[in-house]
Structure 1
Amino acid sequence: MALSAGCARCVCALLLAGLAQGLDITSTTPSSIEKASNGNVKLDCEFTLAPEDSGPLDIEWSLLASDNQKEDKVIILYSGDRAYEDYYDAMKGRVHFNSADPKNGDASINLTNLKSTDTGTYQCKVKKAPGIKSRKILLTVMVKPSKPRCYVEGSSEVGKDFVLKCQSAEGTNPMEYTWERLTDNKLLPANAELDRVSGTMKVKNASASTSGTYRCTAKNRVGTEQCVVQFTVVPPPNTAGVIAGAIIGVLLALLLVAIILFCCCRARNKKKYEKETSYEIREDVPPPKSRMSTARSYIAGSQHSSVGSLSPSNMHEYGKSQYDKIPTDEFERPPSHAPVPPPAKVAGPNLSRMGGVPVMIPAQHRDGSIV
């Protein structure tokens, strides 16, 4: 009995060993792959079958979701002796089986024109009842550095500090930047401070020997790119000359402004003076007298001198004769040149005999007006 029980156990072990040697995936390539974008990659999935694996062969490649709440995406499928390569729109035309007949034991696939969005975990599942096997591969699609931009920040004068900067717009981290000198002894300045992560090189107290051509290299695990910059240290400017020139320029500007203001004020005062002079009335020259006023003064003087010698008896004749006579020759000349005729001297006895009354004749100004 004990022998029979031992034989039964051996038979069971042999049966289990035979089942264990059924469908199996034999690929030994690394389960983690890094590739550059725009490149190609092969995801290995080779398998072997056992005689007892008699069911239909199904091969399924899927992109596993990074979030448990999302569904896995089937990217390519082999079933019923037929390949379905355009199963996933995001990889349409870019994923193919490596073998024209995957049932011969090669379920590997090729991905072409890789994109950064292709990064993820891929699973190969081979099913041939009763055997089922699967394998996972982590693919990381890295973007190689784009051509970096090299430039200088800071002063280029002797004794000043400056910074050389290098930066790539694209590239998958980790990124590393290195600087090297291409001229002279190809050694970086002794006081240079490098930052390989940010891509900067600080140089303090620059000297003439710091001048030269520098090259920066941006690098990650899938590629490198470079840029070149030329830097020249110049002597400091003549500060005294610059200050003197600035002062002279300011003084000339102020002088020009002063001249303009002086000319404007002078022109304004001249215009104001001419305007006031045109309306000025001179008081030292008496206004000219008209002929009519002179004639009237003469008539008035004659009347005053004649009234006293008239009597009531001859008043009527005097009024008719005296007011009709106006001397013309005397008043054609200006009053200042017309001599006033002296009054006729009549003796007292004669005046009384004529019936007149002696009167006082008022003195007359030489221009004919009564004083």
Structure 2
Amino acid sequence: MQMAMMAWRLLWPFVLMGVLSCVALEIQPEESQYYAAEGSDVTLVCQYNDTLDSSGYIIWRSTPYASLLLPIRFGNGQLLSESYKPMKGRARFTARDPQNGDASITISNVSRSDSMTYICIVKKSPEVKKIMTLTVMKPPSQPICNLQGEFAQGNNVTLTCLSFHGESPLTYTWAKISGNQVLPANAVVDSVRGTMRVDSIIEQDCGSYRCTVESLVGSKSCELVLPCPDVPEAHMSSALLITISITVVLVILAVSIITTGCLWWSRKKTGQYNCSEKVGDVPPPSRWIKKKKEILPSLHYEAKDQTVSMSA
């Protein structure tokens, strides 16, 4: 009995170390999904919370081909092989020393052929692995913004945005980037077709708008400037309109009074002058002057030698 107890005490530290070693080596999470644009670089993350000794190793495989993807690295970091030729020169371990907890890889200039499932395996009695899927997609192209309809006060218009290249799902969004930076209250945006309809536009709706198209692997945008409607009434205040109206009425009233007074005065003084003539410039025509016979009194005076009589 005592011999058994002594043997258990001697073996217990080794058993505990083995259990801790099995529990300590973990890769989280177990599975991931990655999306990348054609021609870009992507990093597949595979991190574990332990270090590898000379007996451990890291290996990457791909399915459904189950081919060797990256060089096998032992604990001493020795490069053994690189048998997956399509990935040769484009895949590398992200960390300088993968045996210290980071077995992530970076693949450069990805193409459609790189879309597959990858398995990261970390071997250290027992081995653990992480499964992840990479999908390489064509990013959206530069969209084209356009206006359908005449942007004028009270009209209905439609703003269009279209990206001719890119893989679904594509999502379109519109934003106003000038003025109050708020979309019109009656704007209706179609996030699938890329259109924005605005009914009964007003002056506040003018300005710059931006359309952004997004996919799982990127985004692009275009801009459209809508000029303010040329509506003079919209720029006049009520006070200005009232002032102009009163001025016009006063001018008409003054002209009427002057004309009426002139006619009245002309009729009252018929035969003396005409309102159309300028006073003091030329005498009125003779036909307007009444001819009256006036008898001038005779002037008599006596001189010393003779009597002179003058009469008109």
Structure 1 residue corresponding to 2:212, chosen from 217, 226, 250: 217
CA, structure 1 residues 151+19, in 2 after alignment: closer, same or farther (shift >3 Å)?
A: same
Give yes or no for the alignment of 1:72 onto 2:71.
Answer: no
Note closer, same or farther for the CA distance 1:7–1:168 as it changes in structure 2 (3 Å cut).
farther
Match 1:176 to one of 168, 171, 178: 171
The one of 47, 51, 59 equivalent to 1:48 is 51
What is the aligned partner in structure 1 of residue 61 from structure 2?
A: 62
* Distance of 1:104 and 1:192 partners within structure 2: 56
Aligned-pair CA distance for 1:201: 0.5
Q: 1:121 aligns with which of 117, 132, 140?
A: 117
| Shift in CA distance, 184/20, structure 1 to aligned 2, threshold 3 Å | closer
Deviation at 1:202, TM superposition (A): 0.8
Asked if 1:110 corresponds to 2:110, the answer is: no
Residues 14/172 of structure 1: CA separation in 2 closer, same or farther (3 Å cut): farther
Q: Distance in 2 between matches of 1:206 and 1:105?
A: 60
Read off the aligned partner of 2:43 and give its amino acid letter: V
Alignment of 1:127-276 (within 5 A): 127=123, 131-141=126-136, 144-154=139-149, 156=151, 159-171=154-166, 174-207=169-202, 210-220=205-215, 223-232=218-227
Bigger radius of gyration: 1
The answer as to whether partners of 1:163 and 1:200 remain within 8 angstroms in 2 is yes
Q: 1:82 aligns with which of 76, 79, 82?
A: 79
Report if aligned partners of 2:30, 2:130 keep a CA contact under 8 Å in 1. Answer: no
Could you say if the C-alpha distance between residues 134 and 11 of structure 1 is closer, same or farther in structure 2, counting changes exceeding 3 Å? Answer: farther
Structure 2 counterpart of 1:78, which letter?
A: I
Contact preservation (8 Å) 1:145, 1:218: yes
1:92 to 66, 88, 113: 88
Q: How big is the alpha-carbon RMSD for the aligned residues of Structure 1 and Structure 2?
A: 4.1
Asked if the contact 1:45/1:135 (under 8 Å) is kept, the reply is no
Whether the aligned pair in 1 keeps the contact of 2:27 and 2:128 (CA below 8 Å) is: no
Q: Work out the CA distance in 1 between the residues paired with 2:226 and 2:102.
A: 58
2:212 match: secondary structure: strand
Q: CA deviation at 1:90?
A: 3.2
Q: Deviations over 1:83-132 (max 9, x none)?
A: 434x334323210134566566654322223345534432122346x643
Structure 2 Cα separation of the partners of residues 116 and 10 of structure 1: 58
Partner of 2:292: none
Q: Per the alignment, do residues 79 and 184 of structure 1 end up closer, same or farther by CA in structure 2, a change over 3 Å counting?
A: closer
Task: Note the C-alpha offset of 1:79.
Answer: 6.2
User: Distance between the aligned counterparts of 1:213 and 1:105, measured in 2?
Assistant: 50
> CA 1:49/1:230 → structure 2, altered by over 3 Å: closer, same or farther?
closer
Question: Closer, same or farther in 2 for the Cα pair 1:92/1:49, shift >3 Å?
Answer: closer
Distance 1:18 1:100 in 2: 28
Distance 1:61 1:154, change over 3 A: same
Residues 97 and 186 (structure 1), Cα distance of their counterparts in 2 relative to 1, 3 Å cut? closer
Matches of 1:10 and 1:173, distance apart in 2 = 64
Contact 2:52 2:100 in 1 (8 A): no
* Unpaired runs of at least 5, structure 2: 231-312
When residues 107 and 203 of structure 1 are mapped into structure 2, their CA distance, relative to the original with a 3 A threshold, is closer
Contact (CA 8 Å) 2:43, 2:106: kept in 1 or not? yes
Shift of 1:76: 1.3
**3-state DSSP of counterpart to 1:48:** coil
**TM-score normalised per structure 1:** 0.47
TM-superposed deviation, 1:173: 5.1
Q: Distance in 2 between matches of 1:107 and 1:234?
A: 61
Q: Is the 8 A contact 1:34 1:142 kept in 2?
A: no
Query: Distance in 1 between the 2:12 and 2:136 partners?
Result: 46
Change in 2 beyond 3 A, CA 1:74/1:45: farther
Distance 1:98 1:216, change over 3 A: closer
1:250 is matched with which residue?
none
- TM-score by length of structure 2 reads 0.54
Percentage of matched positions with identical amino acids: 32
Higher relative contact order (CA 8 A, sep 6+): 2
Q: Of Structure 1 and Structure 2, which has the larger fraction of its residues in strand?
A: 2
Could you tell me whether the CA contact under 8 Å between 2:34 and 2:132 is conserved in 1?
A: no
Q: Which has the higher helix share?
A: 1
Q: Post-superposition shift, 1:150?
A: 0.9
Report the CA distance between 1:214 and its aligned residue.
1.9
Matched to 1:91, the amino acid is M
Distance 1:183 1:126, change over 3 A: closer
Q: Cα distance, 1:203 vs. partner? A: 1.5
Structure 1 residue 48: Cα displacement? 3.4
Deviation at 1:176, TM superposition (A): 3.4
- Alpha-carbon distance, 1:153 to partner: 2.9
The count of aligned residue pairs is: 223
8 A contact 1:63–1:72 mirrored in 2 = yes
- Tell me which residue corresponds to 1:319: none
Query: Partner of 1:84: helix, strand, or coil?
Result: coil
Residues 1:145 and 1:30: Cα distance change in structure 2 (over 3 Å): farther
